[in-house]
Amino acid sequence: MLLGRTANGLYWMNRYIERAENMARLVDAGLRMALTRTQSASEEWNSVLLSAGSDVTFSQKYSDYTAANVADFLLRDTSNPSSTMSSIETARNNARMVRTALTRETWESINEAWMALKRMLARPIDERDLPSVLDAIKRETALIRGSFYGTMLRNEIFDFSQLGTYVERADNTARILDVKYYVLLPSISWVGSTLDNYQWESILRSVSAHRSYRWVYDADYKPTNIADYLILNVRMPRSLTFCYRFLSEHLKFLGDDYGERHACHATAEKTQTMLRAGSIKDIFDTGLHEFLAKFIRDNTKLGDEIAQDYRFN
């Protein structure tokens, strides 16, 4: 038995830990693009902001899409509720609230991550330090994940936490794809230009999959393979299918434990079945953008249903 408020806290704690890390990954990918192509760097930074869902709030504050501005906004700006600093702060506040549900190791790792990042992000980041700051963010969130997986009992507390992680991750991957869907569309020339290659690598890099892609597919980047990898590959830990495999599993555990199925079960299963049965060709045939837009809507709906079915508020 868990308080609805505690389940809510666990869910959001994990969404925000995931988000804190995703922001660092997006900046990392943007930085790479900006380093390799100086021509339209501001366009690249704009798509990074779109993927982060922060383009509107950014444009209210800045007019220049430079590395320094975007990195500052996405990593350390506390007026941006999704920045790494805001996310880790929100994650910690939630952790504080649900502290009795966490192992000491998990709580300490979150608290230490918060302390370390607060120190590191207290002042504007020098461009030369940006790579090491991004590494540090990923390391801190990896430590949280490590102590979480290593010490938490696999019970409802774990299930609600994982639901938060995978709803956020699925949303993140789908958004990254949707922002760049046009570069993945089949074009007249099937051989990618240098520019395309950079774009494709950037997509993979923003989900930390540029190396593992080569272990699964040919060394060459192909748009259909990239889309297949990020949407349908069941082994790739940030793919939509992977996320839904675990969402369904944890929802099933909860359903079995409580002896009750809810609307969220049906929603998750429907998406999972769709992903399992689908081929990348079908997805391209119906339209990649349409597919992703619907996925994002359904994923948001799943989050709302989980909150309602388990009395988060």
Cβ-based nearer residue to another protein, 24 or 157 = 157
Distance CA 104, CA 99 (A): 9
Binder of another protein out of 37, 55, 68, 112 (CB under 8 A)? 112
Query: Does residue 217 bind another protein (CB under 8 A)?
Result: no
Q: Which residue has the tokens 């996320």?
A: 243
Structure tokens at 159: 């299930």
Binder of another protein out of 104, 139, 214, 235 (CB under 8 A)? 104
Binder of another protein out of 12, 65, 291, 310 (CB under 8 A)? 310
What one-character-per-residue DSSP string does 205-246 give?
A: HTTT-TTHHHHHS-SS--HHHHHHHHHT-SS-TTSHHHHHHH
Give how far Cα 249 sits from Cα of 1, 159, 160, 162, 240, Å.
19, 9, 11, 10, 14
Binder of another protein out of 61, 154, 214, 311 (CB under 8 A)? 311
Burial (Cβ within 10 Å: 0-12, 13-18, ≥19) of residue 55: middle
Cβ-based nearer residue to another protein, 63 or 313 = 313
Cβ-based nearer residue to another protein, 5 or 297 = 5
How many residues bind another protein (CB under 8 A)? The answer is 24
Contacting another protein within 4-23 (CB under 8 A) = 4-5, 7
Contacting another protein within 140-179 (CB under 8 A) = 156, 160
CA of residue 147 relative to chain centroid, distance: 20
Among the residue ranges 2-10, 12-20, 41-49, 122-130, the one whose residues contact another protein (CB under 8 A): 2-10
Among the residue ranges 75-83, 137-145, 253-261, 280-288, the one whose residues contact another protein (CB under 8 A): 253-261
Distance CA 243, CA 18 (A): 13
Instruction: Pick left, alpha or beta for residue 103 (phi over 0 → left; psi -120 to 50 → alpha; otherwise beta).
Output: beta
Binder of another protein out of 32, 37, 96, 222 (CB under 8 A)? 96
Query: Does residue 100 bind another protein (CB under 8 A)?
Result: yes
Query: Does residue 93 bind another protein (CB under 8 A)?
Result: yes
Query: Does residue 255 bind another protein (CB under 8 A)?
Result: no
Structure tokens at 285: 């045939």
Cβ-based nearer residue to another protein, 259 or 277 = 259
Question: Contact 227/288 with Cβ under 8 angstroms?
Answer: yes
Cβ-based nearer residue to another protein, 112 or 249 = 112
Give how far Cα 191 sits from Cα of 39, 137, 214, Å.
22, 36, 18
Binder of another protein out of 217, 253, 258, 284 (CB under 8 A)? 258
Question: Contact 118/85 with Cβ under 8 angstroms?
Answer: yes
Query: Does residue 1 bind another protein (CB under 8 A)?
Result: yes
Structure tokens at 172: 């993140």
Contacting another protein within 264-303 (CB under 8 A) = none
φ, ψ of residue 105 to 5 degrees: the values are -60, -45
Cβ-based nearer residue to another protein, 137 or 264 = 264
Question: Contact 15/128 with Cβ under 8 angstroms?
Answer: no
In the complex, the smallest distance separating the C-beta of residue 244 from another protein, rounded to whole angstroms, is 21
Instruction: Pick left, alpha or beta for residue 167 (phi over 0 → left; psi -120 to 50 → alpha; otherwise beta).
Output: alpha
Binding site for another protein (CB under 8 A): 1-5, 7, 93, 96-97, 99-100, 104, 107-108, 111-112, 115, 156, 160, 254, 258, 260, 310-311
